[in-house]
Amino acid sequence: MAILEIKRYPERILKQKTAPVGTINGATQKLIDDMVDTMHAARGVGLAANQVGIPQKLCVIDLSLRGEKAPLIVLINPIILEREGVIEAEEGCLSIPGYLTAVKRAERVFVKGLNREGKEISIEGEGLLARAIQHELDHLDGLLLIDRISPLKREFFKRRYKKQMQHSKSET
Ligand SMILES: [Zn+2]
């Protein structure tokens, strides 16, 4: 059991596309356990491997913190096969602490991938689950939620974020 360091914007690894997991071995199992611990410690509902510095196509999702009755989901090499509807809702990211913004996502998704045993699984998600799946799969493609908002909002975010960084530098 280990808590890993969560990479924060603008670290480069967050912008990189991850590579598919080849063999699911002991190292993969340990990474999954550590990612679950890290996600829980940060009180997040999802975490992608590149957020902890490992550029592999693997993510974990656990909505139980939000009071949803949902099991822990481990998705290896996931792909979204179907999307339906559009819905906008507020979203945050463990790699951009303190920032919340409205993001448009598909209302329902159908995703396929492997579970931690390497067995093929498919999940039909809607609501928060659909949102979390799309958010984590974006991470695996090197995309952050700020890549899903308007260029104007993104500019505002970048300016504010830079100021915050300068501020925190002068404090330490
Ligand atoms: Zn995120």
> How far apart (Å, rounded) are the C-alpha atoms in residues 138 and 147?
9
19 lies in some domain: yes
- pLDDT band per the 50, 70, 90 thresholds, residue 1: confident
- Which residues participate in catalysis according to the annotation? 136
Give residue 102 CA to ligand 1 midpoint distance, Å: 14
Counting Cα atoms < 13 Å in the Cβ hemisphere of 76 gives 18
- Tokens read off for 148: 């899903």
> How far apart (Å, rounded) are the C-alpha atoms in residues 16 and 14?
6
Total count of domains within the chain: 1
4 lies in some domain: no
Give residue 144 CA to ligand 1 midpoint distance, Å: 7
Q: Could you list the residue range(s) of the whole structural domain that residue 59 is in?
A: 12-171
pLDDT over threshold 60, residue 171: no
- Tokens read off for 50: 């590149």
pLDDT over threshold 80, residue 45: yes
Confidence (pTM): 0.94
Answer yes or no: are the C-beta atoms of 142 and 55 closer than 8 Å. Answer: no
The pLDDT, as a whole number, for residue 122 is: 98
Give residue 21 CA to ligand 1 midpoint distance, Å: 20
Q: Which CATH number fits the domain that encloses residue 139?
A: 3.90.45.10
27 lies in some domain: yes
7 lies in some domain: no
Starting at the edge strand found earlier in the chain, the sheet holding 120-126 runs: 46-48, 58-61, 73-92, 100-114, 120-126
Give residue 75 CA to ligand 1 midpoint distance, Å: 15
pLDDT over threshold 70, residue 172: no
